[in-house]
Amino acid sequence: MPPVVLEVRNLKTHFFTRWGVVKAVDGVSFSLSEGETLGLVGESGSGKSVTCLSILRLVPKPAGRIVGGQILFGGHDLLALSEKEMRKYRGRQISMILQDPLSTLNPVFTIGAQVREPLRIHHLVEPDSLKQRVLELLRLVRIPAAESRLENYPHQFSGGMRQRVVGAIAIACQPKLLIADEPTTSLDVTIQAQYLRLLKEIQRQSNLALLFVTHDFGIVAKMCDRVAVMYAGRIVEEAAVRELFTAPAHPYTQGLLQSLPKLDQRVARLPSIEGAPPLLSNLPPGCPFAPRCPKVMPLCREQYPPTTPLTASHQVACWVHAKEGHATSHAPG
């Protein structure tokens, strides 16, 4: 078994607003090993991005606060580090690629300067070798004629090239963990496929652990080894990718998969999950999916379901499965 790089235990990140406490992440646990890709999927507002920001301790302040749990990275609890110590991890050991390369890149600095910045901050390369390393990185992410593009600004690059530059910045310091938060959302489909191939290649070369956030199951199938489905700030199902696609156990996952168009089926209207995600500041008691669930039972409205292992690589938080006698642990209250 490859060594575990990241272990998130019972993470809780809440936002304290004038409308109440928004439990954006409420008891999330998962682990990620070297060279492995874990997909985090779920609707907007399910807590995927806040989970990622929590790992880097970049939750927007003052409203956002990590109120519980542990984030173990290489055996160290990131939540116990001082801000100064944490800065040594960001960009160096843990990097993140965001959705929109335009808002990631600074419009007033050249591409060369921006790729150079993390190398300079973390003193990883001798000053006279910096340019060489920047060129290597730009070539690695397939920026054509890299040398002549060093003095270009982000607006002189296409969307696909900008996202590749963001990738070069993210891997500049050879991190152990790369968090990619919907990195292909702003790319068109063909560029998307190229970019995903490139990410996979980089991951293979450096044995990166990759946490991949997406709402696209097609990308999950292509990119991930395991997948965790989030709903209302919690992981409701986690499985090896093949198991999740062939035997989804949670009614929410089943609904998501049923709503995907299929090439071999013509339907007038795709099935959808009725209703809307709950307000995280006002969660119903019991299972938060209950108001939308086709399999809801009276117990569902009273208690949050325990997490039940179905196989060695598949677990689900749903009373339908707990009732079959698999329940082992209860979700955090």
Query: Is the CA virtual torsion 36, 118, 125, 75 positive or negative?
Result: negative
Residue 214 CB partners (closer than 8 Å, separation 6+): 39, 40, 41, 182, 184, 220, 223
Interface with ligand SF4, residue 197, by CB under 6 A: no
Interface with ligand SF4, residue 300, by CB under 6 A: yes
Interface with ligand SF4, residue 296, by CB under 6 A: yes
Site string for ligand SF4, 241-280 (x = CB under 6 A): ---------xx-----------------------------
Q: And the tokens for 179? A: 């968090």
Interface with ligand SF4, residue 179, by CB under 6 A: no
3 state SS for 34-79: CCCEEEEECCCCCCHHHHHHHHCCCCCCCCEEEEEEEEEECCEEHH
Distance of closest approach, residue 256 Cβ to ligand SF4, in angstroms: 12
Interface with ligand SF4, residue 305, by CB under 6 A: yes
The SS3 assignment for 24 reads strand
Taking CB under 6 A as the criterion, the residue among 169, 199, 230, 318 binding ligand SF4 is 318
Nearer to ligand SF4, 62 or 298 (CB): 298
Q: Where are the alpha helices (DSSP H) in the chain?
A: 48-55, 83-87, 101-104, 111-121, 130-140, 146-149, 159-171, 189-206, 217-223, 241-246, 251-258, 319-321
Distance of closest approach, residue 315 Cβ to ligand SF4, in angstroms: 13
Report helix, strand and coil shares of the chain as percent, to nearest 5: 35, 25, 40
Residues from 65 through 104 that contact ligand SF4 (CB under 6 A): none
Rounded to whole angstroms, the Cα distance separating 12 from 251 reads 24
Distance of closest approach, residue 38 Cβ to ligand SF4, in angstroms: 22
Nearer to ligand SF4, 43 or 225 (CB): 43
Taking CB under 6 A as the criterion, the residue among 80, 295, 311, 324 binding ligand SF4 is 295
Report how many residues bind ligand SF4 under the rule CB under 6 A. 14
Interface with ligand SF4, residue 230, by CB under 6 A: no
Q: And the tokens for 88? A: 């040594």
Nearer to ligand SF4, 101 or 305 (CB): 305
Q: Would you tell me which residues interact with ligand SF4 (CB under 6 A)?
A: 250-251, 287, 289-290, 293, 295-297, 300, 305, 318-320
